[in-house]
Amino acid sequence: MVRRSSSVPHLNSSGASSADSAGNSGSRGRVRASRGNVKKSTATPPASTQRQSSGSTNNSVPRSRSLTNGMRRLSPQKGGSGSGGSRNTPYFLRSRENEIGSAETLEIVASKSTGSEEPSTPEDNINVVVRVRPLNEKEKRDRYGPTLQFPGNGQVIIEGNDVGQKRSHNRDSVRVFTYNVVFEPGATQDDILDYSGIKRIIEMGIEGFSCTAFCYGQTGSGKTHTLTGPPDLFMGKPNPKDPRHGLIFRSFVYLFQLIKNRKDVNYVLKASFMEIYNERVIDLLNPGSARKPLAVRWSKKSGGFFVENLFTVDCEELDDLLAVLEEGMRNRAVGSHAMNDHSSRSHTILTVHILSDQQTDGGVFLSKHGKINFVDLAGSELTKKTMSEGKTLEEANNINKSLMVLGYCIASLSDNKKRTGHIPYRDSQLTKLLADSLAGNGVTLMIACVSPAHYNHAETLNTLRYASRAKRIRTKPVIMMDPREALILSLKRDIHGLQMENDHLKAALNLHHQAAVNAGQGETVDNLLELQLGGNSAPLPKVDLERLPELDGTELAELVKLYMAENESLRQENNHLFTVRETILRDQEIVCRENERLLKKLEDVNKVCVRSPLIPARPAISPTTGKETPGTEIWTNPELVGSAQSNAIQSEDATLPLGQRMSENTDRRTDTAQKRIDQQRIARNILLMANAFRRPNGEPGQVPGHLKQEGQTNPAANLMPEPIIAHIFTIGLAETAVLDIMAANLQQQRVINEQLRREVGLPRIQVSEACSLMMKYMMENETEDCLLSGFTSPKVNPFREKSSCSIL
């Protein structure tokens, strides 16, 4: 019994959410379809397009030996056993049980998807089956031999195309394709229902998935036959018991069987039927006399395309659905050409929306919105073969064009590299409306229909290739469900995501390491984090999605609250971690800047500086290796070695390399010894000078105020860092003595500088600049050393604090 629930949103546009279509439904009203009342005035078809008329050949195919005539079998088939026991005719050739993505896989997908905590299933390949129609009368008459063989296990072999020649069995020209199921020419309509995987698709539609079954193939390959049955079936009042009924009719029957068995759920079925004729979307349930096209629009809400103002019919009984099918079949565009008397001139899409509303014990309704699309594509055609002209030619061009776009989309989607790039869905109305089925959140079954005749070898090979590509496409089915359910699930997903983010941040901050260090003091990682972050450790109740419907409203609300609270606390924790990370990054940046500054300073010094004649060079740190290299007697700017060498070329000894122009002191003292001696000498000199300038009363001089301040004009103060001056004064040097020391030192450095510059060929720079840098260097490095060694009193030893020296 199908019941209608008022809580299910009304829907009247294909592919759009109920909200999207709400506005449209009002104007059109709800129409309950039943046999007869869906019938509407049909528009006059285009000149070359005719409605299906009675009196066409009965194409029903009895399963007889003649159907498999000429079809060679390479290996014994499972035959009867594969047909489910009851069908054990030896002429029924059907290959199935290929493990990849078969009907069984669909079941696995479904079992994973329903009742699990996640609303979506893992990605899965599109299910692809192949149906090979029997040779038709014309093909038999013209003695076109078969081009396909069926080795079983979902495989189909296509021979090489050597029409007119003696058919060779050249292995190179033979291609083998594998699909989920291959239906051989003897397969019945019932077999398609039982073994194509459509039953599982219907079940998934009921469970809330968006499902699509579409037939693809060249013209006359049996697409319409597979989906709806032979063309004469809908001429009069179709007999429901007719065995020639196609997949759609059989699916409807199966759908209603399932629905009737689910007494606990209210189902509302709605159906729409449209065709894409010459790139125009026509409503087959309400074509109007002008067959006015409907607009295809993008829905932001559902994230897909939908047809605006598409007529949607509520179907309470099986009869209603059948009426929709009949009405659409009568209204669709059909034409005739050399290869098919009843050729579909349009792509048709019949959609059944399944809205389910299940009441739980607590009175809460869980709503899902599944749908099943049945798509009968117009066949690709070689216009030379079909001898199309005029309107039929235009139709053929449009059909081929849209199929080509579909081919591009399939090719891109099946290519792992291209699938994340641009897919040209927008290039045709067909691909816009199939976008979701091909790459979205739906479950898709592709039935590739082919002709076995050698005459159609190229088209068959093409179809098999397409089908094979489509098999590589992966979709991620998602249940379309009620927002409340979706909210709980999305919160759970959020929490999971945040937890992962959290872990990542913890790892990034190396807190684990810290915790490990602290572990020795009895703290665990979690304790530490909880302490630091104030984490909320209250465990969340585990929710079994399957049991969600059993929860009552208050329990659900509680659950949502809990998840929201957890979510919030994780967010806060993350914010905190982000802040800590920011601080660390800032600190790191400061250190980097400080390093850069120091490096710059070092560079400045290097540019102008030569080693003090008083102090031997310090060991240098190699910027590349980071190792210490012993100091040289004369510092050479490495950047200028080349130019120094080129200068040397102009000098008298220009032919000699630099190394040979300088003699190395072989009798050198060790660096430390030399340094000690130099330091003592400097200290002695400074002390001597200091004593000479001591105030007459023997008291130490005072630090003049102006020397302590920044911006003073005293040149000595410019050259000497204030801490040094301050401490020189502290030990009793008079201001004049300092100035004299500095002046003497300066003069000395100038001379040395000039001399060394001549030697190493440094570019000339302003003397004042050179002196200034030189003095900075002296003060920072060597004077510091000499003072340290000369004045050992702790009072005058501030330079042990490195920072006081480095900040100039």
Ligand X SMILES: Nc1ncnc2c1ncn2[C@@H]1O[C@H](COP(=O)(O)OP(=O)(O)OP(=O)(O)O)[C@@H](O)[C@H]1O
Binding site for ATP, by residue number, is 217-224
HEC readout, 380-420: ECCHHHHCCCCHHHHHHHHHHHHHHHHHHHHHHHHCCCCCC
User: Distance (Å, rounded) from C-alpha 197 to C-alpha 107?
Assistant: 9
Nearest CA among 465, 452, 450, 469 for reference residue 176: 465
The CB-of-288 to ligand X minimum distance in angstroms stands at 24
User: Distance (Å, rounded) from C-alpha 305 to C-alpha 429?
Assistant: 9
CB nearer to ligand X: give 105 or 429. Answer: 429
End-to-end, the C-alpha distance of the chain in Å comes to 91
The CB-of-544 to ligand X minimum distance in angstroms stands at 46
The CB-of-62 to ligand X minimum distance in angstroms stands at 9
Q: Which stretch binds ligand X (CB under 6 A): 2-10, 220-228, 419-427, 744-752?
A: 220-228
Q: Is 402 one of the binding residues for ligand X (CB under 6 A)?
A: no
The CB-of-52 to ligand X minimum distance in angstroms stands at 10
Q: What are the Cα distances from residue 360, in Å, to 357, 363, 553?
A: 10, 5, 9
CB nearer to ligand X: give 113 or 451. Answer: 451
The single-letter DSSP state of residue 709 is S
Q: According to CB under 6 A, which one of 14, 25, 224, 475 is a site residue for ligand X?
A: 224
Task: Judge whether 538 and 349 are in contact, CB under 8 Å.
Answer: no
Nearest CA among 213, 159, 219, 170 for reference residue 343: 219
CB nearer to ligand X: give 52 or 120. Answer: 52
Q: Is 133 one of the binding residues for ligand X (CB under 6 A)?
A: yes
User: Distance (Å, rounded) from C-alpha 264 to C-alpha 27?
Assistant: 33
Q: Is 783 one of the binding residues for ligand X (CB under 6 A)?
A: no
Q: Which stretch binds ligand X (CB under 6 A): 80-88, 251-259, 269-277, 337-345?
A: 337-345
Q: Is 61 one of the binding residues for ligand X (CB under 6 A)?
A: yes
Q: What are the Cα distances from residue 82, in Å, to 196, 280, 539?
A: 12, 43, 51
The CB-of-342 to ligand X minimum distance in angstroms stands at 5
CB nearer to ligand X: give 24 or 344. Answer: 344
- Largest interatomic CA distance in the chain: 139
The number of residues that bind ligand X (CB under 6 A) is 21
Tokens of 576: 């905190």
Q: Is 388 one of the binding residues for ligand X (CB under 6 A)?
A: no
CB nearer to ligand X: give 223 or 369. Answer: 223
Tokens of 166: 């003696």
User: Distance (Å, rounded) from C-alpha 808 to C-alpha 803?
Assistant: 10
Q: Is 238 one of the binding residues for ligand X (CB under 6 A)?
A: no
Q: According to CB under 6 A, which one of 14, 98, 343, 431 is a site residue for ligand X?
A: 343
Q: Which stretch binds ligand X (CB under 6 A): 140-148, 215-223, 249-257, 549-557?
A: 215-223
Nearest CA among 734, 726, 731 for reference residue 707: 726
**Which amino acid makes up residue 306?**
F
**Which amino acid makes up residue 172?**
D
Q: Is 340 one of the binding residues for ligand X (CB under 6 A)?
A: yes
Q: Is 304 one of the binding residues for ligand X (CB under 6 A)?
A: no
User: Distance (Å, rounded) from C-alpha 246 to C-alpha 232?
Assistant: 12
Residue where the block lists tokens 């990542």 = 504
Q: According to CB under 6 A, which one of 59, 147, 286, 460 is a site residue for ligand X?
A: 59
The CB-of-247 to ligand X minimum distance in angstroms stands at 11
CB nearer to ligand X: give 338 or 687. Answer: 338
The CB-of-371 to ligand X minimum distance in angstroms stands at 23
Tokens of 574: 């993350």
Q: Is 230 one of the binding residues for ligand X (CB under 6 A)?
A: yes
CB nearer to ligand X: give 131 or 369. Answer: 131
Q: 215 pairs with which residues across the strands?
A: 376, 447
Output the CA torsion 462→466→467→470 (10° steps). Answer: 180
User: Distance (Å, rounded) from C-alpha 95 to C-alpha 155?
Assistant: 7
Q: According to CB under 6 A, which one of 201, 333, 378, 683 is a site residue for ligand X?
A: 378
Task: Judge whether 270 and 373 are in contact, CB under 8 Å.
Answer: no
CB nearer to ligand X: give 342 or 471. Answer: 342
Q: Is 428 one of the binding residues for ligand X (CB under 6 A)?
A: no
The CB-of-138 to ligand X minimum distance in angstroms stands at 10
Q: 273 pairs with which residues across the strands?
A: 350
CB nearer to ligand X: give 52 or 358. Answer: 52
Q: According to CB under 6 A, which one of 94, 96, 223, 492 is a site residue for ligand X?
A: 223
Tell me the H-state helices in 541-628. 553-608
Q: According to CB under 6 A, which one of 21, 105, 219, 392 is a site residue for ligand X?
A: 219
The CB-of-130 to ligand X minimum distance in angstroms stands at 12
Q: Is 220 one of the binding residues for ligand X (CB under 6 A)?
A: yes
What are the residues whose beta carbons fall under 8 Å from the beta carbon of 754, sequence distance 6 or more?
none
User: Distance (Å, rounded) from C-alpha 730 to C-alpha 796?
Assistant: 8
CB nearer to ligand X: give 403 or 728. Answer: 403
The CB-of-346 to ligand X minimum distance in angstroms stands at 9
The CB-of-193 to ligand X minimum distance in angstroms stands at 13
Q: Is 221 one of the binding residues for ligand X (CB under 6 A)?
A: yes
Tokens of 256: 């209603």
Q: Which stretch binds ligand X (CB under 6 A): 34-42, 340-348, 406-414, 644-652?
A: 340-348
Q: 175 pairs with which residues across the strands?
A: 158
Q: Is 328 one of the binding residues for ligand X (CB under 6 A)?
A: no
Q: According to CB under 6 A, which one of 45, 379, 442, 790 is a site residue for ligand X?
A: 379
Q: Which stretch binds ligand X (CB under 6 A): 219-227, 299-307, 388-396, 711-719?
A: 219-227
Q: Is 344 one of the binding residues for ligand X (CB under 6 A)?
A: yes
The CB-of-565 to ligand X minimum distance in angstroms stands at 58
Give CA angle at 56 (51, 61), nearest 5°. 125
Binding residue numbers = 217-224
User: Distance (Å, rounded) from C-alpha 516 to C-alpha 456?
Assistant: 72
CB contact burial 290-321 (16+ within 10 A = b; e otherwise): ebebbebbebeebebbbbbbbbbbbbbebbbb
CB nearer to ligand X: give 452 or 477. Answer: 452
The CB-of-244 to ligand X minimum distance in angstroms stands at 8
State phi, psi for 148 to the nearest 5 degrees. Answer: -115, 150
Q: Is 186 one of the binding residues for ligand X (CB under 6 A)?
A: no
Q: Which residues bind ligand X (CB under 6 A)?
A: 59, 61, 133-134, 136, 217, 219-225, 230, 340, 342-344, 378-379, 449
